[in-house]
Amino acid sequence: MVFKYHQLVIPSLTVSAGEVLTLTGASGIGKSSLLQWILGVPQPDITIEGQIKLNGEDVGALPIERRQIGLVTQQVDLFPHMTVEQNLLFALAAKQGDDAARHDWVKQELDSVALADYATAYPTELSGGQAARIALLRSLASAPKSILLDEPFSALDVKLRKTIRDFTWTTLTAASMPAILVTHDVQDAPGNIVNLEDYYYD
């Protein structure tokens, strides 16, 4: 399906702590644009009107870095020029704390997913599943108030997909993190599903 000029009129959606809201719909309908808009990426080609509130505060006018919204995507997005440890430290760097404490924290996190041996490995040396776990840890490391998941499982094979899905939901629940998931596959969805096609106007 090709959507050229169309409108989406979406009613107010709310996500509470530890909950995952799933957005779905045919490709091209604007799922990713919507997600990017929430993240704070300017969308020069489309007109968007609306509000984003985090804990009641309107963040619509804030730049990406001040919205405190994390992002995990299909392409994983671990920075290829940094080791696993450096990737995690990079996310932590925005927070206070002395060097030793930060290194300890990274070590703990890696231990918790049994990847301590990979601290000095580069992302290209990781398997898909390993990278997906690190990516989620990294997103959480910067202590966001909410997290966006852009097709995070679609690059994984069926078996791994389930493992990582479970890992993700467990981790997010443990952190009582509100999250929005964009996916093609409704099987990915742990809770509420919103199909954007329901709000589609020509």
Partner 1 sequence: MISRMVRVAIALLWLILPLGVVLWQSTTASFEGALSDAFRALSGSAWLTFAVTLITSLIVLFGALGLARGKRLSATWTSFIAVPHVAFAIGLLWLVSPSGWLVRIVDALLPMWQGPLQSSWLSSKSAFTLMVALVLKELPFLILMAQANVQQMPVLRWQQQAQALGYSRRRFWWLIVVPALLRRIRLPLYIIAIYTVSVVDIPLLVGPNAPALLAQAVFELNWQFNSNTQGLVHWGSLLLVLVAIVTLVVLRVVEWVLQRWLSSLAASGKRTPVAQTTGKRAGLPWFWAGLAVIIFISLLLQSVQQSWFYPSLWPQGWQWSRWLAEWPYIAPLLYNTWILAVLSATLAWLSAVALLEVQAQRQQHQLHVGWLAMLMVPQLVLVLGWQQTIGPDSGLIGLLWSHTVFCFPYAYLTLHGAYHAYPRRWLWQARSLGYGPWAAWFKILVPMLKRPLALAWAMAFSISVAQYLPTQWLAPVTHPTLTTEAVSIASGGDWRLGSVYALAQWASVWIVFMLALWGTRARN
Binding site for partner 1 (CB under 8 A): 36, 39-42, 44-45, 63-65, 67-71, 73, 75, 77, 79-81, 90-91, 94, 122, 138-139, 141-142, 144
The residue among 19 and 77 lying less far from partner 1, judged by its C-beta, is 77
The residue among 11 and 44 lying less far from partner 1, judged by its C-beta, is 44
Please state the closest distance from residue 114 (CB atom) to partner 1, in A.
24
Please state the closest distance from residue 44 (CB atom) to partner 1, in A.
6
Q: Are 27 and 1 a contacting pair, CB within 8 Å?
A: yes
The residue among 89 and 164 lying less far from partner 1, judged by its C-beta, is 89
Please state the closest distance from residue 7 (CB atom) to partner 1, in A.
21
The residue among 92 and 115 lying less far from partner 1, judged by its C-beta, is 92
- CA 50 centroid distance within chain: 21
Please state the closest distance from residue 107 (CB atom) to partner 1, in A.
19
Q: Which two structure tokens, joined as six digits, stand for 198?
A: 């329901």
Please state the closest distance from residue 65 (CB atom) to partner 1, in A.
5
The residue among 65 and 198 lying less far from partner 1, judged by its C-beta, is 65
